[in-house]
Structure 1
Amino acid sequence: MLSKLTHWFDSRRRDRALRTHAIPDALWESTLAGLPFLAHLEAADLVRLRELTSLFIAQKSFSTAHELELTDAMTVAIAAQASLPVLNLSLDLYRGWVGVIVYPGEFVIRKTVEDEDGVVHEIEQDASGEAWEGGPVVLSWEDAQMTDGTDAYNVVIHEFAHKIDMLTGEADGHPPLFRRWHAPLDATAWADVFDTAYDQFCAKVDGISERRWARFERDSLIDPYAADHPSEFFAVCSEALFVQPRAFEAEYPELYRLLARFYRQDPARVGALLPETSPVPAK
């Protein structure tokens, strides 16, 4: 009886959120036009993405910095991109925090880094996005609009991949695996593919001479920044999965299959990759 009552309340909250934060047709169409990498989605998937986008907006608090005006178009564009990775999973993967902060452009972050001698330094650097463990996601609106799909860059997907990675603690490139979605994929199978791919990519980056670096940085599907840490490799590869899926699958087939199984999506339409389970209703 209690479970039925809880389900009834959840359904009521969901329906109320969908009504309160309904996205007008014209705004949704213009959002899709600005996100061409969503073209692989079937009509039914786009309906679910629209609902999930509304629910995301209902659950999260958007704010801006430096007097940037927050518009409905900005909110929906960010929310749709954030919702894409969890389309066949659940917004529960974004639980435990509420804030999305949008800056006009790049912003300065302070980081603690340890050099090769073990000395710790406090540094400042420009950033286009940052995800705080237990805290907000911070985005550059200028970068969040770089969505034409000409390369694999997508700052929104990148930062929300970090949030998924952080669900069970510090981001480490080993996101949580759930039996109901990911079985028989487990931590050992993940490490066999992911860690090997990361080590190979780092070796590739380390082997690039200074003379060839600019060309490599320009031509590489995976941003060399991904070699900084396994968590960055996971986030950058998540960008590639959704934004340049065919190129990603062609260059990194095993890694593509791993991430496609994790997100339960096959944007390159390779087929026969995913567990035979139904999509989870938006909630």
Structure 2
Amino acid sequence: MGWLTDWRRKRVLSRHRMDDALWKAATGGLKFLPASEKLKSLVLLFLAEKEFSGAHGMEVTDAMRVSIAAQACLPILELGLDWYAGWTGIVVYPGDFRVRRAELDEHGVMHEWDDELAGEAMPGGPVVLSWDAAANDPYINVVIHEFAHKLDMLNGAANGMPPLHAGMDRRAWKAAFDDAYQGFCDAVERSQDTWLDPYAAEHPAEFFAVISEAFFEAPRETRRRYPAVYDQLRLFYRQDPAI
């Protein structure tokens, strides 16, 4: 069915054009986005294939859709929209939202609690975002974060190891990320300044998502602080934003 998808996408691009005023309104504050017609085309396809819905009375405007789509498409700019295949929904809350959790411990006791989140990516399901977090946090990008999780999940589990391209060295990836993650966790434990969000110490999957945010929003500083990790992300995303 790949030919049908290609045909539909060509038809979308032949019939639609990104409105310049809308693009400027939606992305004018996102200085890390490249001035790229390729990105605009990818956003048009993303908007054609994904479904946005608001929660808790949130009205998702066209500018919000374009803003979220542009940030979501940045990681796949050189990979293609098929990397986001298999799901359609994007749910937008006005602010942080609560998710009920339950876990059975080793003694068979069920524990339940509420998590307050700014975003969540569900395996095979939607991406859920807080618009307040998506719009207002410099150098913390909840959209890139959650969509990095979506890429990470393509190998079956969010573990900080997305499917690597042919020619990439799994051992080099693991060595770079293991060393950086361990050093980061040690710094968090010692209450040192970590530059990255300390939440990245929660799990290797969170470290991958957080450092993906930094790779796109603060690439030169990421390259300076984590050169080996930056090099692996450069190979994976097929982009070199520090140039």
Same fold (TM over 0.5): yes
For 2:221 and 2:174, how far apart are their aligned partners in 1?
A: 23
Following superposition, the deviation at residue 61 of structure 1 comes to 0.7
Ranges in structure 1 where 5+ consecutive residues have no aligned partner:
270-283
For 2:110 and 2:119, how far apart are their aligned partners in 1?
A: 23
Name the structure 1 match of 2:221. Answer: 247
8 Å CA contact 1:63–1:101 kept in 2: the answer is yes
Name the structure 2 match of 1:73. Answer: 63
Name the structure 2 match of 1:22. Answer: 17
- What SS does the aligned partner of 1:191 have? helix
- What SS does the aligned partner of 1:203 have? helix
Percentage of identical aligned residues: 52
Q: 1:21 to 1:68 in 2, by over 3 A?
A: farther
Q: 1:163 aligns with which of 147, 150, 155?
A: 150
- What SS does the aligned partner of 1:97 have? coil
Q: Which amino acid aligns with 1:12?
A: W
User: Is residue 187 from structure 1 mapped to residue 174 from structure 2 by the alignment?
Assistant: no
For 1:266 and 1:57, how far apart are their aligned partners in 2?
A: 26
8 Å CA contact 2:216–2:241 kept in 1: the answer is yes
Q: 1:242 to 1:134 in 2, by over 3 A?
A: same
Name the structure 1 match of 2:80. Answer: 90
Q: 1:113 to 1:194 in 2, by over 3 A?
A: farther
Encode CA deviations 1:191-242: one digit per residue, 9 max, x unaligned: 111112111111111122xxx7xxx3xxx32111000000000000000000
Name the structure 2 match of 1:273. Answer: none
Kindly indicate whether structure 1 or structure 2 has the higher relative contact order, using CA contacts under 8 Å at least 6 residues apart: 1
- What SS does the aligned partner of 1:126 have? strand
8 Å CA contact 2:173–2:229 kept in 1: the answer is no
8 Å CA contact 1:246–1:268 kept in 2: the answer is yes
Task: Please give the TM-score of this superposition, normalised by the length of structure 1.
Answer: 0.80
For 1:257 and 1:30, how far apart are their aligned partners in 2?
A: 33
Aligned residues: 243
Q: 1:224 to 1:29 in 2, by over 3 A?
A: same
- What SS does the aligned partner of 2:195 have? coil
Q: 1:230 aligns with which of 181, 198, 204?
A: 204
Name the structure 2 match of 1:272. Answer: none
RMSD: 2.2
Q: 1:200 to 1:119 in 2, by over 3 A?
A: farther
For 1:117 and 1:89, how far apart are their aligned partners in 2?
A: 45
Q: 1:262 to 1:67 in 2, by over 3 A?
A: same
Encode CA deviations 1:229-262: one digit per residue, 9 max, x unaligned: 0000000000000011111111111111111111
Q: Which amino acid aligns with 1:198?
A: Y
For 1:12 and 1:246, how far apart are their aligned partners in 2?
A: 39
- What SS does the aligned partner of 1:204 have? helix
Q: 2:163 aligns with which of 155, 173, 176?
A: 176
8 Å CA contact 1:173–1:231 kept in 2: the answer is yes
Ranges in structure 2 where 5+ consecutive residues have no aligned partner:
none
Task: Please give the TM-score of this superposition, normalised by the length of structure 2.
Answer: 0.92
For 1:89 and 1:111, how far apart are their aligned partners in 2?
A: 34
Q: Which amino acid aligns with 2:225?
A: E
For 1:95 and 1:176, how far apart are their aligned partners in 2?
A: 14
8 Å CA contact 1:114–1:120 kept in 2: the answer is yes
Following superposition, the deviation at residue 123 of structure 1 comes to 1.8
